[in-house]
Structure 1
């Protein structure tokens, strides 16, 4: 009479013990979806597809890339934030929909709506001038503004955009004044640099280095120097860091199980080190990335908070 209940209890206990590790080991047991909030063809789309492919190899399952373009990336970001938090939907979000628009628009998400897995790319802004201008250093550029604030005119995509925030932070750190000229896109900025409408543009490496006979990089808004272009960081010149970049974050909806989050972090770290992924970054003159997990989440939260603080003071 006593043996049967005892055996039943043991069976239940063994089932419970074996079920816990099995659930962790079984993830993922099916395909994942990877949301890219931009149309096919652009850098964010191609980099997103490259890291999704590399993560797929490590996870051992297919990852289907879904382009969900619209409203500067916020359509895809909204869909991603509302997806089931089971680890089967992830994606790449860039600076505009993830770090900036939540501060300036009424959106159904903010940074805390996502689990931050790893950095997908980091593309520091490079202060670039027309070679024909004769300007060769950031100090020379700032000297133009000593008597006439309108003498330094810079590329912006409008108030509250990354370029606008970056250049306003530069003015504050450097103690000078400059005039933002709104325009759309880096190629338009290059045209306006060459025609003299503006005399400095905070642009990314792909554009700055793609016109070596016409454009001269003079400083980079990164924490450390990069091999190309080999120019000083703004922090080296001013003694105070001014760090701004177009960044991409691999994220998941908030609340996925901790073991699944950890597995995604592992897969992303492996992808970051893969030759296939770094070959795609190299096509856009972007440096390798390595930030993952809690350290990456802390760094990105700091960027988010700094942008919010700056916008609130404008």
Structure 2
């Protein structure tokens, strides 16, 4: 079987989220609701923080970026997935597939890095409270955020160039509901060494490096919290990070289930289910989690109305 150069491959076929026809209509009705909640929640969070002067702090600056990233990430995946539910043959053209892959990786990695920056903010607030304003200044916050986008755009451009070098056999069926690295690698006829190297690079930058950064930061936070003598102080330290812990647990739990298990242990059908969490559920939950658990965010609408900014 002679591999075809990817430049001559014009389209792929996506198997979709499920192969059971009876589930297509319920899923088609469910995911628009998830997407609408994600869009409204992210926009409301960005608007709320923008209008509330008491929320103009470093943590909420990171939260604005996290909400924006989640909105973009969901937009890259959900509309095409909804089209696939109502079409008989789920076709995606080669250039569309590569574009979707690029922006999906961009936003999923940016989200991971933004969560890492947010835990660094928690670390500075708890472990270096006296030096917090010096460590996390507005200029430093901007630098950290800009670094996320610049470094990962450069890295993803390199990664995409490697992906474009993959050769594909006659089979063009992607066993997934969107274009992701591992389904494409499984479909490729390129050398095993090249495919494994690409998969290793992808896993490292998408999961391992940000996860290690978050883990090390939380070890220092936990050590500091344990040595706080007052119950009120420990409770305040925990409340500072509780929303972030939940967001990290859902994102990395689902991502690890998808990417860090051998295919023989975690078949792609199970991977489809786990990937729904970080492509659809996590972007929806992030604004809701911070809205419900953060006291300042819950009081923000009342303060805006009292100040007359919504008149």
Identify which of structures 1 and 2 has the higher relative contact order when contacts are C-alpha pairs closer than 8 Å and 6+ apart.
2
* Structure with larger Rg: 1
TM range, smaller chain: under 0.3
TM-score when normalising by structure 2: 0.26
TM-score when normalising by structure 1: 0.26
Question: Which has the larger helix fraction?
Answer: 2
